[in-house]
Homo-oligomer: A and B are copies of this chain.
Amino acid sequence: MRRAEPETRGEILAAAARRFAATGYRGTSLQDIATAVGCSKATVLYHFANKEALLTELMAPAIAMLQALDDRLTGLTGGAAQRVAAEGFVDLAVRFRREIALLRGEFPELLQQPAFAHIQRMSERLLDAMAGTSDRPAARIAALVLLAGISEGCAEFVDMPDDELRPALLALARRALEPVPDPIHD
């Protein structure tokens, strides 16, 4: 069962992405991934410290983009923050919908792990920004439904071209989120 090319690491990563997308993170065992690659489970754990390392490497680009959005959001308030948050999140969801899809609704569980606590915090800031400065519950509800709906729904959009999905999600976000007036600078 020895492999000819030393491309095993990349193959493991690709197979893990496929399996996670098909059956979720918890629903995929290391043995599943090893079988898909055609190697042993021990080989998977030779290339990756543990199962979580596989997931974090797969999610790293998406997390980096979320971090960048979070940085852009600091200092912004009101309508400006709302627009940046909504457009930034739609861009993120469109670009990394395959990565988001492979969590398959396991966000809540995974975010509870201490290793992902900073993602939890960024998500909360994103939600606050999308809800606007308004403290009306309706605004937070709309923002939360949009955030959760796009995260969970993008698994269904993997085969849709970017330039069709992006404007549709943007238009939806604009419709769903009630605009917040910009503060008047003096």
Contacting pair B152 A164 (CB below 8 A): no
User: Would A172 and B176 count as touching, CB distance under 8 A?
Assistant: yes
Q: Which residues of B contact A106 (CB under 8 A)?
A: 105
Checking B105, B109, B149 against A108 with a beta-carbon cut-off of 8 angstroms, the contacting residue is B105
A9 sits at the interface (CB 8 A): no
Q: How many residues of A contact B (CB 8 A)?
A: 37
Interface string of A161-175 (1 = CB under 8 A from B): 000110011011001
Given A145-B153, A149-B146, A153-B145, also A138-B171 (CB < 8 A): yes
- Copies, count: 2
Assembly CA distance A169 to B149 (angstroms): 13
Cα–Cα distance between A152 and B144 once the two chains are bound (Å) = 9
Contact call B142/A172, Cβ cutoff below 8 A? yes
Question: A142 to nearest B CB, angstroms?
Answer: 5
A residues neighboring B (CB under 8 Å): 23-24, 26-27, 104-109, 137-138, 141-142, 144-153, 155-157, 160, 164-165, 168-169, 171-172, 175-176, 178
19 contacts between A and B (CB under 8 A): A23-B109, A104-B109, A105-B109, A105-B152, A108-B155, A138-B168, A138-B172, A141-B157, A141-B169, A142-B172, A142-B175, A144-B156, A145-B146, A145-B149, A148-B153, A149-B150, A149-B152, A149-B153, A152-B152
- 20 more CB-based (< 8 A) A-B contacts, given A105-B109, A144-B156, A151-B152: A24-B108, A24-B109, A27-B109, A104-B108, A105-B108, A105-B152, A108-B155, A137-B160, A137-B165, A142-B168, A142-B175, A145-B145, A145-B146, A145-B149, A145-B150, A145-B172, A152-B152, A175-B175, A175-B176, A175-B178
